[in-house]
Structures are given as structure tokens and as C-alpha cells.
Chain A
């Protein structure tokens, strides 16, 4: 009884004095107390202080970074030492409580402040609590998740305490999960069963292993109730996993489809509408990607290139933060522009001589593709260059365990925008009208006074520009290197051929279809290469059924 009163009194006293005390002061006090039980109490009382500071200071103590120095007066003073050592190996010491320097000391002369098990236990739970009260919900969630995965019953109190205060729904769920996971280690079967049910109810994917272990253990000890409960939970979770995988696959398929669409839409115009086989289409994509890289470098540290021994130095703006993040906004139109200009050069220089000879335009443009690849290599080096994503493209959302990467979401939005833009351009603008007229009947259009040469050039520029735009994108999700284009060219052609030449809707559908199929096969087979091969095979078989692609544009001449 007396002890109890004393304890209450003491805590009241301490409480009153602590009210104004900083964590540093409290710890300084604790350091000087001999009785480890009292030390533990003081440490426990840190639970309400600024978690960041508490974590830093307690970690320092735990790891032996605080020493007890005996000053001239014979009083013990807790000190910390600077990193720097002088010639004799002495380090500058500071008082722990005030930070005032107390002269140079030899670490080996000092005793580190000790901790015993009771104290460490108290520290751990305070540290846990501190981590659990981090202002950043993401950090809290992580802390909770590690605690859950460790299944350490000693963490239960901290979690339970946090549970009553937590407001963030994700963290709340994580805490439920962690508590249930820890409770799986409980002595009492009833608690275990309840925990199983809980895990099943929240469809906790990370707990599958723990639950499997429970099933095995319970079956071995013939505890049918527990085994059943765990199995039921596992079934629930398995269902959920299937859902997550399906949704994830669908999303990835959609985004892959969008990528295909973005890279292929330029080809759908040059190949589909104009009938030009541009094997350098992939390199047009690469031009866009490299343009993005150059823009990024100009916003950042600048860039030095030396193609053919000519030294070119682009000064950098060394921009940071928001301005740097904006580089991509500028890179998009520039990528379009450079690729479109390259396209114009290609069309004027080579392709216009080969409109009636598609096989030969295939060959000549392959030559161009070789030349361009080598030029990239000579200018930017044979290795991949680093293009960093702006921060607004590099996060992700997790909804119901399904991961949505922002760049993937963005590519979908972007694909929609491009298709919309191109459709509008073709349907609603004078240029679009001319393009369609020339593509339908070149001679007729020429007779009506359309300058078909110019329309060809602009159409090709549009297709190439779109490829460049795609390149800007690719730079955000994949490597940028001299052979970047080669990676996509086969996919591009497949997409356009399956969609049916001369038909944008066909291209859209085929891109999404191929993307979905690819990702589904990858999910089912667990192997991207095999999936890809099967997709190619699928395409060949598909063309048996519809040789002209999904949407057929008929032509009357005997030889088409």
C-alpha cells in the first residue's frame, strides 16, 4: 500500500516536473539514476515527447554513444564525444544535457552509460511507440508492418496503445493486421482462432506464411478448430490474391497496351495511312527519348557531348525542386518537334522517291535506322543514359492491395489524350481533311489541286513526331540507349498489322488487346519471354483468321 502511494506520488512529482522538461533533460536525468527500475520509469515517460528526438537520443544511448564522465568535483556528468580525434586520439566532449564543451577526453578512459534488460525493454517499447507516432503515415505504416512480421508479443502493448489513437485508415488496417499476426503466437487457442478470423476478414496477404504454419502445427497437434480457422482465412486470402493479381494484370495490361498504342500510333499514320514502311520508326522514338534526356540535362547539371571529336558543351541550369520537375513538360513538345523534323528530313531525302515501292522503302529506312543508331552511339555513348522521372511520375497508389504506379496511370491518360488529339486532327482540321483525301485517292486529290507532296511531308512529320512523343514517354519507364528503337519496332508493326492498316480504331483495339494478352500470359506462365513468344504466335494465328487485320480497308486494284 505504502509502495503504491509512493509510486503515485513519485509519478505525480515527476509528471509535474516533466511537464516542462525536454526529452534530452529527462534522459540526462535518467542517465544519472542508479536504480534501473526508476530509469525505466523515466524512459517510459518519454512516450509523449517528440518521437523523432526520442528515437535519436535513445538509440544513441542504446548503442553506447553516451559516456559518464567524472568531473573535477567528482560528480558524474553524461557526455557525448565528437567524431573527430586529435593526435593523441582524444575527442572533444560535450555535456549531454546542455551541449557545453567539457574539454578533450580519451574514449577509452570513459565508461559508456550502461543499460540492463529491464531498461532496454522500456526503451524498446518507447522506441516502438515513438516510431508508431511518427507524423508521417507511411513511416507509421512501415513500422507497424515490421512489427507484425516479427510477431513479437512484446510489441503488442505499443500497438494496442496506438490502435486507440490512430486515425489514418491504412495504418489502422496495418495495426489490425499486425496485432492479429502477433496474436497468432498467443498461448491461448481461442485468441489464435480469433486472430485467424481477423486476418481472413482483412484479407491479409503477408500473413499467408504464418497462417500456413498454424495450419501445419494445428493439424499436427490435431486442433481441428484452429486448423479450420486458419485454413478458412487462407482461402479468403487466396481469393483476394486472385482478385489482386487479376486487377493488377488488367491494369498492367492496360498500361502496356497504352504504351504500345503510344509507340504505334505514329506508325499507324506513316504505315497505315501512307503505306510507308518506316523501319526507322523505332529510331524516331529514340530521338524523342534522347531529346528528353538533353532537356533534362539542360535543366540539371548540363551536358557535354563529343560526336566525331567535335566538343559540344551545353550549360546546365542546375534547377531543383519544382522547376526541375517541370523539365518533362518542356521535353514533350520538344521531343515531338525534333522527331518531326527528322521525319521531314527522312521523307524529303529518301521516302518520297519510294512511295510506289514499299519493299524498297522498308530497306532504305532500315539503312537509315542503322545510321541513326550509330549516330546515337557516337553522340551519347554506347551505354544507356540516365533519365530521371520527375517526382510527380515516380510514386504509386495502392488501392486494396493493387499497385497503381503513377507513370503507368499517366501513360494511360496520355494515350487517351494522344488518340483523342490525333482523331480530332484528322477529323476536324483542314490538314486532317487533306491527309485523308490524299490517302484515299492520291491522283484525285492532286487533280483537285491538293499539293500532295506537302501533305505527304506533313503526314510523315506527324507520324514521326508522335513517335518522338512516345520516346519522351519511354524514357520515363525504360532504358534510353542507342538500340531503344529496336526494342519496340516489332511490337509497333504487329500492333498496326493486327489492327488493320489504315485504321486508327483498329490500332487502338489491337494495342490494348495485345497488351492485355501479353500481361495475362505473363501472369499465367510466370515468364515474360514465353508470354511474348506466345503473343507473336497468337498474332500469326490471328492473321489466319483475319489476314487484313481487325478492320479491313478494301482496295479495288488487282494488285494492292
Chain B
């Protein structure tokens, strides 16, 4: 009975949209402290899976538990967030009419209550933390600019910064490298690797195999196909798997 604690355990999850089965009998376990990469062809249901975890959509069937204690399927988005689950969306979603600084203030960990928000002021540690994050995401110079005016890649970084500010226990990162230069992509990878550990578990969705290779480093990679886990294992193993070649890389090869 000495099972390691799962940060996320999903069992028998099904979800269909207007008759289209986006997630099919999905079973997925992830350990506390793990950095897991999920790959899969377009429309495999990767983003939908994150939607299910974060409460954006509710499954038709199945359960998704957090830390073996909280049934996420019964909770609303903000309750799930407050458990310590943060998310970066596939298309960068920041508060476009707020400044970069304000975006981070909004994301900073701390109380989310209405009345607290009336009287809370940033203390010096919080201010320092925002400065740190701004440096990390390389936006110090832009802190007073409206987030909507940033370049695509900068928005990606800002959203990563917002994730950092939250200091979540589980980070769900949907295609962070999209729209970034190779250099930036590598930097993102380093950042994620440095975060992974007992305090943070990370689930990354990515198409860019170089990036996947960089961050997985022999860790487990999950291949999703048609809403179902096709196989799991280290990246090399997965890449040579018959089925994966068939449905994923095979398709890619044919397209190329």
C-alpha cells in the first residue's frame, strides 16, 4: 500500500462534444514532483484534457483527483485554481488592457477574496517578487506597457510569468514554445526544468520535439491519440513505438 501520491489521477474519463468523442476512457496518473510531457497529433484531446483538469469543461464520466483528495470534476475553475493548479493557455491569454505589472499583480499568490482585494496593498516582498519575475521573463523594461501591445512571444512569456507568480503546485503548460525563437524556447525549457521538483509538478503539452527532448530528459512522455493514452515511456522509446509511428509521426511524415 505504499503508493506514491499522485498529483493528478484521472480514471475512465469520457467527454464528447455534440456527439464527437474528444476524450475516450482516458486514464492518466502523474506523481507529485513529476515533469510530464504530453504529445499527440492535432485534435488528440490534449487541450481538452487540461480543460477537464481545470474545470473549464466537465467530463461526462470518470473522475479526476488532485493529490488523491480533491475531486476536481465537482469543483469550479477558481476553486481548482485555489488548490494550486495553474494553467498557461495554448493561445496566450493575458489581460490585454492591463499593464504587464498589473497582470502579475493579479496573478500573485495570496487572497482572492472580494473584501481583501479592497484593502490589500503590495508589501515589499511581493514587490520584489514581481521584479524578480519580470527579470526572469525579460519584461522589466515593459512593465508599464499594456499587455495587449506586446509581441506574441512576449505574451507567452508574460503568461509564464503569471504562472510563476501564482507559485502553483501543479503547472499545466499548453504549448509554451509556440511563437518563440529557438533561443527563447531553450530558455523556457530551462525554466521549466529548474522549477520541477517537490514543490512544483509540471504537465507540459508540446508539439516541438526538440523541446520535448530537452525537457523530458528520459522522463516519462505520454502520447495521446483520439482522446486516449496511446503509450507512455521515455521519449526515444515512444518515438519508436509502432503505434505512435503509425498515428502520429507517420501522419506527420506523410504530410511532409
Contact = CB atoms under 8 A, between A and B. Distances in A.
Judged by CB atoms under 8 Å, the answer to whether A and B touch is yes
Interface of A: 554, 558
Contacts of B17: 554
B18 A554 contact: yes
B89 A558 contact: yes
A494 B93 CA distance: 33
Contacts of A554: 17-18
A558 B93 contact: yes
Contacts of A558: 89, 91, 93
Q: How large is the interface on B (under 10, 10 to 19, 20 to 34, 35 or more residues)?
A: under 10
A422 to B, nearest CB: 22
Contacts of B18: 554
A213 B86 CA distance: 79
A554 B22 CA distance: 14
A558 B91 CA distance: 10
A194 to B, nearest CB: 67
A342 B175 CA distance: 48
Interface string B90-105: 0101000000000000
Interface majority SS (helix, strand, loop, mixed), chain B: loop
A339 B17 CA distance: 38
A558 B89 CA distance: 10
Interface majority SS (helix, strand, loop, mixed), chain A: loop
Nearest to B90: A558
A554 B18 CA distance: 9
Interface in B19-70: none
5 contacts: A554-B17, A554-B18, A558-B89, A558-B91, A558-B93
A483 B89 CA distance: 48
A401 B89 CA distance: 65
A554 B16 CA distance: 12
Nearest to B47: A556
B86 to A, nearest CB: 16
A554 B57 CA distance: 11
Interface in B71-125: 89, 91, 93
Contacts of B89: 558
Nearest to A556: B17
Interface string B117-153: 0000000000000000000000000000000000000
5 cross-chain pairs, A with B, having the tightest CB-CB distances, nearest first:
A558-B93, A554-B17, A554-B18, A558-B89, A558-B91
Nearest to B93: A558
Nearest to B56: A558
A550 to B, nearest CB: 15
Nearest to A559: B93
A558 B51 CA distance: 11
A558 B54 CA distance: 13
Contacts of B91: 558
Interface string B171-193: 00000000000000000000000
A439 to B, nearest CB: 15
Nearest to B48: A556
A355 B63 CA distance: 40
A558 B93 CA distance: 9
B82 to A, nearest CB: 20
A291 to B, nearest CB: 41
Nearest to A552: B18
A194 B149 CA distance: 93
A90 B151 CA distance: 108
A558 B56 CA distance: 9
A191 to B, nearest CB: 72
A277 B91 CA distance: 28
A208 to B, nearest CB: 56
A451 B120 CA distance: 53
A377 B46 CA distance: 59
A483 B213 CA distance: 69
B34 to A, nearest CB: 27
A440 to B, nearest CB: 12
B73 to A, nearest CB: 18
A554 B91 CA distance: 19
A554 B93 CA distance: 20
A558 B50 CA distance: 13
A141 to B, nearest CB: 58
B183 to A, nearest CB: 29
Nearest to B89: A558
A554 B56 CA distance: 13
Nearest to A558: B93
B173 to A, nearest CB: 16
A353 B77 CA distance: 34
A415 to B, nearest CB: 28
A403 B89 CA distance: 61
Nearest to A553: B18
Nearest to A557: B91
Nearest to B18: A554
A374 to B, nearest CB: 37
B46 to A, nearest CB: 14
A558 B96 CA distance: 14
B32 to A, nearest CB: 29
A554 B15 CA distance: 14
B113 to A, nearest CB: 24
A199 B91 CA distance: 78
A295 to B, nearest CB: 45
Interface string B206-247: 000000000000000000000000000000000000000000
A275 to B, nearest CB: 19
A553 to B, nearest CB: 9
A210 to B, nearest CB: 63
A558 B77 CA distance: 13
A558 B92 CA distance: 11
A243 B17 CA distance: 45
A560 to B, nearest CB: 12
A333 B159 CA distance: 56
B61 to A, nearest CB: 18
A554 B51 CA distance: 14
Nearest to B17: A554
A554 B20 CA distance: 13
B96 to A, nearest CB: 11
A558 B159 CA distance: 15
B87 to A, nearest CB: 11
Interface string B154-174: 000000000000000000000
Nearest to B57: A554
A558 B18 CA distance: 18
A486 B91 CA distance: 43
B18 to A, nearest CB: 7
A56 B80 CA distance: 90
B43 to A, nearest CB: 12
A557 to B, nearest CB: 9
A20 B208 CA distance: 114
